[in-house]
């Protein structure tokens, strides 16, 4: 490209930029942005209407500092839950945006099973805010991988979609090939805690070529839902064996048990 052409383009850029903004505004008048959950009109794209927002039970302190499970009462200081003390997780800390019910479970289901990849932008941005303290301590983001056959059937990995948004918002690198799912496990739904652990035994592995990249790194493992923590523990164990210094977990939603 010649210097004259570059100069002309530089002169035209302000007008082109204004034209793009004008076109977007006109499109917004004809097709106003809709709620990502119910499609009702909203003021901003990729957002929730007031009714759907109120249908999300956000997880905020006080909660268990290890498991991220909310406490029913505030004792005024950081605490560990009896569950975290009796059966400490492999990972260091877990955080989630919301409890897995209501609007939150609807959004996860649509992302996961209805090919609504557009939802990853909003859910991932909420995860960035909820996981701010974990992101400050992390060196790299790793999504929980799917087995190749499940990935082939589903066509995308929802954890990867969320991890990419969190990485973009936080400025941290995302390394989707740092962890592989090498065992084709059955669905975890309906399994006991012991059966979940057995099902996930040997399910994850750090590929040999990824070991050098992980060595001494603080990993933030990203998933869509945290249930019993069996998957998170199995994945964290593999990452630690592969050379990671520590592993934290960030999910959009988590199943909550009373503490």
Low-confidence residues in the chain, pLDDT < 70: 1-32, 186, 188-190, 258-259
* CATH number of 97's domain: 3.40.50.2020
Q: Which domain holds residue 216?
A: 55-254
134, 93 contact by CB (below 8 A): yes
Residue-level pLDDT at 7: 42
Q: Would you give the distance in Å from CA 184 to the centre of its chain?
A: 22
Prediction pTM value:
0.83
Residue 52 tokens, joined: 């759907």
Distance from C-alpha of 249 to C-alpha of 141, rounded to nearest angstrom? 10
Domain-located, residue 39 = no
**DSSP E strands: which ranges in 78-235?**
94-99, 140-143, 180-181, 204-205, 218-226
CB 115 within 8 A of CB 154: no
User: What pLDDT sits at residue 10?
Assistant: 46
CA 39 vs CA 9, 35, 42, 84, 158: distances in Å: 39, 4, 8, 40, 21
pLDDT tens figures, 36-89: 998 898 877 888 999 999 999 999 999 999 999 999 888 777 889 999 999 999
Residue 134 within a domain: yes
Q: State the total domains in the chain.
A: 1
pLDDT at 44: 79
The contacts of residue 219 (CB under 8 Å, 6+ apart) are 138, 139, 140, 141, 142, 178, 239, 244, 246, 247, 248
Beta-bridge partners for 220? 141, 248
């Amino acid at each position: 490209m010649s210097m004259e052409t570059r100069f002309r383009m530089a002169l035209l850029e302000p007008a082109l930029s204004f034209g793009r903004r004008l076109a977007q505004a006109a499109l917004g008048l004809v097709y106003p942005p809709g709620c990502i959950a119910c499609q009702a009109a909203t003021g901003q794209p990729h957002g929730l209407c007031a009714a759907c927002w109120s249908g999300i039970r956000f997880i905020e302190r006080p909660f268990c500092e290890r498991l991220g499970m909310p406490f029913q009462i505030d004792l005024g200081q950081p605490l560990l839950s009896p569950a975290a003390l009796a059966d400490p997780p492999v990972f260091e800390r877990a955080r989630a945006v919301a409890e897995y019910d209501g609007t939150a479970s609807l959004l996860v289901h649509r992302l996961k099973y209805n090919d609504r990849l557009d939802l990853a932008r909003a859910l991932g941005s909420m995860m960035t805010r909820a996981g701010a303290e974990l992101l400050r301590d992390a060196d790299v983001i790793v999504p929980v991988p799917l087995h190749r056959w499940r990935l082939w059937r589903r066509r995308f990995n929802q954890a990867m979609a969320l991890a990419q948004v969190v990485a973009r918002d936080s400025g941290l690198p995302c390394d989707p090939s740092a962890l592989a799912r090498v065992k084709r496990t059955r669905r975890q739904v309906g399994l006991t805690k012991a059966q979940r652990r057995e099902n996930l035994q040997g399910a994850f592995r750090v590929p040999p070529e990824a070991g050098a990249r992980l060595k001494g790194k603080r990993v933030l493992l990203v998933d869509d839902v945290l249930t019993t923590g069996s998957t998170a523990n199995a994945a964290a164990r593999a990452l630690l064996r592969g050379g990671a210094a520590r592993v934290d977990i960030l999910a959009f939603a988590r199943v909550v048990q009373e503490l």
